[in-house]
C-alpha cells in the first residue's frame, strides 16, 4: 500500500492537479488562455494512471482487499 500511495502522488495527483489547475485556474491567474496542449497532456497523464490502477490494483471493489483503505480514500479524493 505504501508503494501505491507513493505512485499515486506522482501520477494520479499530478495528472488531476495539473488538469484542474490548467482547466479552471490558469486564465484567472495569468490573464491568458491555457495552452490547449497542456490541458490534453494533463488529461492523458490522468487517463493513463486510471488505466494502470484498473490493470494493477483494482481487482475487486477496493484497491487492497474487501474493505476501503487510505489508498481508496486518496484515490476517491482525486477523482471526485
pLDDT of residue 2: 93
pLDDT of residue 71: 95
Tell me the pLDDT tens digit for each residue of 30-78.
999 999 999 999 999 999 999 999 999 998 899 999 999 999 999 999 8
Q: Average of pLDDT values for 17-36?
A: 92
According to DSSP H, which parts of 1-80 are helical?
A: 2-10, 12-24, 26-30, 36-52, 70-79
Q: Average of pLDDT values for 9-37?
A: 92
pTM of the full structure: 0.80
Neighbours of 46 (CB within 10 A): 22
pLDDT of residue 80: 82
Cell numbers that stand for 5 in this block: 500511495
Amino acid at each position: 500500500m505504501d508503494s501505491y500511495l507513493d505512485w499515486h502522488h506522482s501520477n494520479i495527483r499530478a495528472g488531476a492537479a495539473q488538469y484542474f489547475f490548467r482547466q479552471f485556474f490558469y486564465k484567472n491567474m495569468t490573464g491568458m488562455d491555457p495552452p490547449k496542449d497542456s490541458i490534453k497532456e494533463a488529461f492523458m497523464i490522468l487517463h493513463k494512471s486510471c488505466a494502470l490502477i484498473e490493470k494493477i490494483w483494482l481487482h475487486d471493489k477496493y484497491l487492497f482487499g474487501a474493505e476501503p483503505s487510505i489508498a481508496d480514500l486518496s484515490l476517491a479524493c482525486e477523482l471526485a
